[in-house]
Structure formats: structure tokens, C-alpha cells
């Protein structure tokens, strides 16, 4: 589902004047990066988190991949690796769009605080499988640049 969400967001960013070379997509796993490459029909750069270390883009889309189905195992692997999370969260110069399960991410106290701050600013958009093609998804690309 996250690959589909990202595939919906990228063209909306491009239509708002953001250049392909200014957009990057990062995810923890090669298999998710491959899935996103199949879903996104542009030459936007897509890599795993580790390959983005030392690099940045104006706009980063971060796919966390996991849902709340098994948050404990996920938290102990990726979300427990603060170095990788730091790299993932600090690659965007101007806009960071995080795609993931708020339930899972909120199980990590620091990420819970981040989600609460983003929510205070009106930056959380909940999307279900049936909602993915609805016009409201446009809101993601309309958030302040």
C-alpha cells in the first residue's frame, strides 16, 4: 500500500513544480525500493536509507514499510536503529513526507513526539486502501513547502 501512496504523491509534487531531481524516495529495505520503482513512473531517485547517508534532496518521501500488524518486531529492528532513523529523517532540505503506520511509529517515544507535532500542524493524513485514489490525497502535496 505504501508504494501505491508514494506513486500517487510523486506526480502531485511534480505538478506543483518540484523537479524530479529535487525529489528522493527512501525506504529501509531493497524489496520495498524495488516495489516503489515499479509503481513510480518517473526517474525520481529511489534508494534504501543506508545509500542516502551523506546526501540530501529538497523533498524526501520516506516509506517506513511496516504496519501495525507486528509492531514489536519492527520496533526492535529498524526503529531501534537510531542511526538509520536519523539518516532517514534528516535527508530532506525543505519537505519530508513520511508514509507509515502511526500506530507502529508511535510505539517509539521519540517518533511519537514527532507524530504529535506533525499532527498539531495539520500534517497527518490517514489513508486506507479504499481511500488511496480519492481527491483528498492531494492534500499531501498541498502542505506548506
**What would the CATH number be for the domain defined by 1-121?**
3.40.50.300
Q: pLDDT tens digit string along 80-111? A: 678 888 899 999 999 999 998 888 888 888 88
Q: Is residue 123 pLDDT above 90, yes or no?
A: no
Q: Please give the residue that has the higher pLDDT: either 19 or 143.
A: 19
Question: What's the pTM?
Answer: 0.81
Q: Is residue 142 pLDDT above 80, yes or no?
A: no
pLDDT confidence of residue 145: 38
Nearest-angstrom CA–CA distance, 80 and 28: 12
Q: Is residue 44 pLDDT above 90, yes or no?
A: yes
With CA atoms as reference, report the closest residue to 54 among 21, 98, 30, 87.
87
Nearest-angstrom CA–CA distance, 132 and 114: 24
Q: How confident is the model at residue 11 (pLDDT cuts 50, 70, 90)?
A: very high
Q: How confident is the model at residue 48 (pLDDT cuts 50, 70, 90)?
A: very high
Do residues 57 and 93 make contact, with C-beta atoms less than 8 angstroms apart? yes
- The string of DSSP codes covering 75-138 is HHHTTT-HHHHHHHHT-EEEEEEEES-HHHHTTSHHHHHHHHHHHHTT------GGGTTSGGGG
Amino acid at each position: 500500500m505504501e508504494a501505491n501512496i508514494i506513486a500517487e504523491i510523486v506526480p502531485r509534487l511534480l505538478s506543483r513544480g518540484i523537479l524530479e531531481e529535487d525529489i528522493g524516495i527512501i525506504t529501509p529495505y531493497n524489496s520495498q525500493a524495488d516495489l516503489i520503482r515499479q509503481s513510480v513512473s518517473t526517474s525520481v531517485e529511489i534508494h534504501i536509507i543506508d545509500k542516502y547517508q551523506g546526501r540530501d534532496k529538497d523533498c524526501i518521501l520516506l516509506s517506513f514499510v511496516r504496519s501495525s500488524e507486528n509492531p514489536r518486531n519492527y520496533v526492535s529492528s529498524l526503529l531501534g536503529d537510531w542511526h538509520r532513523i536519523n539518516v532517514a529523517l534528516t535527508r530532506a532540505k525543505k519537505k519530508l513526507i513520511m508514509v507509515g503506520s502511526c500506530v507502529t511509529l508511535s510505539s517509539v517515544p521519540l517518533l511519537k513526539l514527532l507524530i504529535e507535532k506533525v499532527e498539531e500542524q495539520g500534517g497527518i493524513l490517514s489513508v486506507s486502501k479504499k481511500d488511496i485514489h480519492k481527491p483528498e490525497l492531494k492534500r499531501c502535496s498541498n502542505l506548506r513547502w
